[in-house]
Amino acid sequence: MPRELPVSRHGSLAAAPQPAELATLDAHAHLDPRAPFAQLEACGAVLAMTLSLAEAEAVAQASAGRPANVMTAPGCHPRKAKAQADFDVERLRGLVGACPVVGEVGLDSGSRVPTADQLRTFRAVLGVVAEMPRLVSIHSFRSSGAVLDELRRSPIRVPVLHWWTGTAAETREAVDLGCCFSVHSAVVRRSTWRTLVPPERMLIETDAGWSDPPNAIPHKVAWMEHLLGAQLGRSAAEVRALAWSNFWRIVAETGTADLWPAPFRMSAPAAVR
């Protein structure tokens, strides 16, 4: 089966590393900032989301010697009242400058944070990433339509929908809007996902929490690779290569290749490494 090659930042096709050389890639997890570095080193390549700007700042301040296979993103979770109350767009802008990924941000109709406050924060985040394109991991629980409304109103380069539960019509619209999807096992079993989302828009996530051992992440990602492989008619190794290929396309589309450290670049097409 032909495998799609990533596009380099120069726009040309470039050879990708072989699947056997690739680490696991988790596009959405939450890691306890106090976790020992040895545990973080064993978790593969991870996009670590934060729930508040304060959490992101704490990680940034304690980053000396922190393993570079974990990329911590500044976020402001729609369910976290204090994070929403403390949100400040200039603080976010300062954190985003050197960071190629933003999250977890978004909307949640089950949150006790008033909708108007969630919208104010989410719109401010979309404004920042419209100026500085980034991979943005977006929470849309019970708010799929509202999130799509905002993305239509304020388009950004590459929205990545996390834990997507939209209807078939919403999923079609999200695909049309250029969204990618980071999925874990509860999502990938849904027929909407299987039938409407092109494989080229797929990333894998664990949504691992603080109490989960970081070194379990590669096993959870591998399980997802098997599940997705069964659905796509591809081997688990091909799914891993696909996820990395999709990731590097997002990097190219956001112009952030220079912001990713060595453990990520090892899985990049040759032109980027």
Q: Which residue lies nearer to Zn ion by CB, 26 or 104?
A: 104
For residue 95, the minimal CB distance to Zn ion (Å) is 18
The minimum distance between CB 123 and Zn ion, in angstroms, equals: 20
CB of 238 to Zn ion, least distance (A): 27
Q: 3-class DSSP state for residue 200?
A: helix
- Please report, as residue ranges, which positions from 101 to 120 form the binding site for Zn ion (by CB under 5 A): 104
CB nearer to Zn ion: pick between 51 and 92: 51
Per-residue binding letters, 156-195, with Zn ion (x by CB under 5 A): ----------------------------------------
Q: What is the three-class DSSP state of 36?
A: coil
DSSP single-letter state for residue 173: H
Binding mask 121-150 for Zn ion (x = CB under 5 A): ------------------------------
The answer to whether residues 140 and 166 touch, using CB atoms and an 8 Å cutoff, is yes
The window from 11-19, 88-96, 186-194, 200-208 that contacts Zn ion (CB under 5 A) reads: 200-208
Give bridge partners of residue 202 from the DSSP assignment: 181
Contact window for Zn ion (CB under 5 A) among 97-105, 108-116, 124-132, 164-172? 97-105
Question: Which residue's CB is nearer to Zn ion, number 48 or number 196?
Answer: 48
Enter the DSSP assignment of 13: B
Q: Which of 223, 211, 204, 218 is nearest to 31 (CA)?
A: 211
Where do the H-state alpha helices sit in the chain?
Answer: 37-41, 53-61, 81-86, 89-96, 115-131, 144-153, 168-176, 185-188, 191-196, 217-232, 236-254, 262-265
Distance CA 179, CA 148 (A): 10
Closer CB to Zn ion, 173 or 207, in the complex: 207
Binding site for Zn ion (CB under 5 A): 104, 207
